[in-house]
Amino acid sequence: MHHLKDSFKHKGKRKILIAALKEMGINDDRILKAFDQVPRHFFLDLAFDEQAYTNMAFQIGSGQTISHPFTVAFQTQLLELSKGDKVLEIGSGSGFQTCILAALGVKVFSIERHKELHRKAKLMVDYFRFPARLFFGDGYQGKKAYAPYDRILVTCGAPEIPNELLQQLKNGGILVIPVGDGAEQKMLKIKKDLNGQISQEEYGTFKFVPMLERKVR
């Protein structure tokens, strides 16, 4: 928490990143505004400060990464969020995506299986005073206690769609999840209609760290 300074230089670089995200097809102004409100360099080691606003992923410890800004913005846009939505996030990671969601005025419930990352993400969420709720545990299981959710976001590559998550998705809800066994995953947007029928759309190929079932550290 020692380097939470937001300089003119940071702000300038952030504006350039936001313009680049717009060029890449992020057209929801609320998301672009959230990227301006939540300084990404706060979530990175000081060593990465200079590159914080490039479209790159970085190591954040525990073998995990903070996703490319475009990936965060793209997944968020696929969720089609409305203010007040109840959102379950699987993989808090650095807490950056959690804070972007919270900045959009949704109720976030986020799960992380690495104790150290969970602790750090919680510090960041508290720093911004976002009312998000963070839990340490196995994302495969979702969080039944607060189900059903309007939206579910998975920020790690899953070998398949966990059934628990589909069950915890509200009728009329959307689940965004990268699915695939190898080095790359297909970004899926899964919709559950008002009768509980499931349909899915595919949105290109991405690279995520794997989602490991029943592994909490």
- Structural domain contains residue 199: yes
pLDDT tens for 120-131 read: 999 999 999 999
- Structural domain contains residue 131: yes
- Structural domain contains residue 80: yes
- Structural domain contains residue 20: no
CB atoms within 10 A of CB 186: 15
Rounded Cα distance between 66 and 212, Å, is 17
Confidence of residue 213 (pLDDT cuts 50, 70, 90): low
110 and 132 Cβ atoms separated by less than 8 Å: yes
pLDDT tens for 146-158 read: 999 999 999 988 8
Give Cα 189 distance to the centre of its chain. 14
Sign (positive or negative) of CA dihedral 131, 126, 108, 119:
negative
How many domains are there within the chain?
A: 1
State the catalytic residue, choosing from 67, 92, 94, 110: 67
Share above pLDDT 90 across residues of the chain, in percent, rounded to a whole number: 78
**Full residue range of the structural domain in which residue 143 is found:** 60-206
- Structural domain contains residue 117: yes
172 and 92 Cβ atoms separated by less than 8 Å: no
For the entire predicted model, the pTM comes to: 0.94
- Structural domain contains residue 127: yes
Output the domain CATH number for residue 126: 3.40.50.150
Averaged pLDDT for residues 187-212:
91
Q: Which residues contact 131 (CB under 8 A, 6 or more apart)?
A: 102, 107
Whether 67 is catalytic is yes
Rounded Cα distance between 65 and 46, Å, is 15
DSSP conformation class of 36 = H
- Structural domain contains residue 75: yes
- Structural domain contains residue 7: no
